[in-house]
Structures are given as structure tokens and as C-alpha cells.
């Protein structure tokens, strides 16, 4: 049975088997969580991302998919990079957002990770409204069959935490 936990804080300060990165398809870093994870984890993460680009993901990591690298200096064994969809008012991309959580849990299972820390994927630069993103994230975590024992959502600020707390019911 997977437990779902909400935490307010900086995901790069979390201790977990796997920390999930809200990456972009280039896998070569960015701002937000991506920037914080690369800064905190150090160059070993980017080196493995570059190796992935030179091999399996020559055209980048597609939206909704996930791939693991070392966590470098972070207090975790792996970083699982996933690419969220950019919010669109015209097109329902929620299956792609749900896929980020499902695919990350699938990668976590393949690694044998038992605790996984997620950020609120797509709710920053990719502009997904927090409440809807929380609804999708929690539903995906609850409906995915996984050996992961703890799914921890790490929300940077009180507002995001409150929104997730309201959705968790
Ligand atoms: N810890 C936890 N949450 C964080 C942290 C952190 N250190 N930094 C930012 N966040 C929160 C943001 O407040 C937002 O709610 O993570 C959520 C996701 O925001 P982004 O990091 O902007 O990710 P996303 O919206 O998925 O956009 C991805 O942004 O940084 C670039 O390279 C990245 O192109 C990609 C895009």
C-alpha cells in the first residue's frame, strides 16, 4: 500500500531513494526545480543526462516520459527526470501530466526505489494551474500499481501546500 505524504520545502533538501525532476525534453537543465536539482546535485547529473542524449534519447526525452540518473550530491540515490506538458487552455493535456507520475513510479519500481519525492510538475514555468495539477497528481499516484511505499509531494511554498492539502481530502 502506497502512502501519500505532503511536505512543504525545497525538494533538493529531501532525503529519498528517488527525487523527481521537472525537466524539459533537452535534459540539459533549466530553471525552477530543474535548476535547483542540477545545482544541488552537481555535474554528475548533467554528465549522465548528456550520455542519455547521446544514446537512448538522441531527440530528447518526450513529454510524459521518465528516465533516471544518479542523484549526485543530493541525499538520494537517483534523480528521475520527467517532462511535464505545458498547460494549454485549448487542448486537454492532463493525460500527459498524469503520465509523468505514472512513468516516474514505473522507473522507481525498476530501480527498487521505495520512497519517491515529487515536485508539483508543470505548475511553474509550464503554467499549469496548481489545483488542477494537484488533482491530477494525486489521482495518478493513487491509481498507479507500484511497489513504492511512500510518494511524497514536496511543495515549495505554503500556497501550493494548501492547494494540495485541500485536494487530498
Ligand atoms: N523544491 C520544490 N519545488 C520547487 C522548487 C524546489 N527547489 N523550485 C521550484 N519548485 C516548484 C515551483 O514553484 C512549481 O510549483 O516546482 C513547481 C514546478 O515548477 P518548474 O520548476 O518551473 O517546472 P515546470 O513548471 O514543470 O516547468 C519545467 O522549467 O525549469 C524549467 O527546465 C525546466 O523547461 C523546464 C520547465
Give average pLDDT by consecutive 10-residue segment, the chain, 169 residues: 94 98 98 98 98 98 98 98 98 98 98 98 98 98 98 98 94
pLDDT at residue number 129: 98
- C-beta of 36 in contact with ligand 1 (< 6 A): yes
Half-sphere exposure (CA, 13 Å, Cβ side) for 14? 33
Q: Which residue among 60, 81, 119, 163 has the greatest number of ligand 1 atoms within 8 angstroms of its CB, and so is best to mutate? A: 119
- C-beta of 40 in contact with ligand 1 (< 6 A): no
- C-beta of 84 in contact with ligand 1 (< 6 A): yes
Contact indicator for 80, 110 with CB cutoff of 8 Å: no
pLDDT at residue number 2: 80
Instruction: Show the domains of the chain with their CATH numbers.
Output: 3-168 (3.40.220.10)
In the residue annotation, 34 being an active-site residue is answered as: yes
pLDDT at residue number 54: 98
**Rounded to an integer, what distance in angstroms lies between the CA atom of residue 43 and that of residue 167?**
36
pLDDT at residue number 169: 75
- C-beta of 122 in contact with ligand 1 (< 6 A): yes
Judge if pTM exceeds 0.85.
Answer: yes
pLDDT at residue number 127: 98
Q: How far does the centroid of ligand 1 lie from the alpha carbon of residue 127, in Å? A: 10
150-155, strands of its sheet edge to edge: 3-8, 150-155, 115-118, 16-23, 76-83, 66-70
**Rounded to an integer, what distance in angstroms lies between the CA atom of residue 75 and that of residue 88?**
34
Amino acid at each position: 500500500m502506497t502512502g501519500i505524504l505532503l511536505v512543504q520545502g525545497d525538494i533538493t533538501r529531501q532525503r529519498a531513494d528517488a527525487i523527481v525532476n521537472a525537466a524539459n525534453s533537452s535534459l540539459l537543465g533549466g530553471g525552477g526545480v530543474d535548476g535547483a536539482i542540477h545545482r544541488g546535485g552537481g555535474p554528475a547529473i548533467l554528465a549522465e543526462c548528456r550520455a542519455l542524449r547521446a544514446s537512448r534519447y538522441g531527440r530528447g526525452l518526450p513529454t510524459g516520459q521518465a528516465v533516471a540518473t544518479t542523484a549526485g550530491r543530493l541525499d538520494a540515490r537517483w534523480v528521475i527526470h520527467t517532462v511535464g506538458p505545458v498547460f494549454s487552455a485549448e487542448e486537454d493535456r492532463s493525460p500527459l501530466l498524469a503520465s509523468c507520475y505514472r512513468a516516474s513510479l514505473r522507473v522507481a519500481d525498476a530501480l527498487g526505489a521505495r520512497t519517491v519525492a515529487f515536485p508539483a510538475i508543470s505548475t511553474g514555468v509550464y503554467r499549469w494551474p496548481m489545483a488542477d495539477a494537484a488533482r491530477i497528481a494525486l489521482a495518478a499516484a493513487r491509481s498507479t500499481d507500484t511497489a513504492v511505499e511512500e510518494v511524497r509531494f514536496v511543495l515549495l511554498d505554503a500556497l501550493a501546500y494548501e492547494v494540495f492539502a485541500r485536494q487530498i481530502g
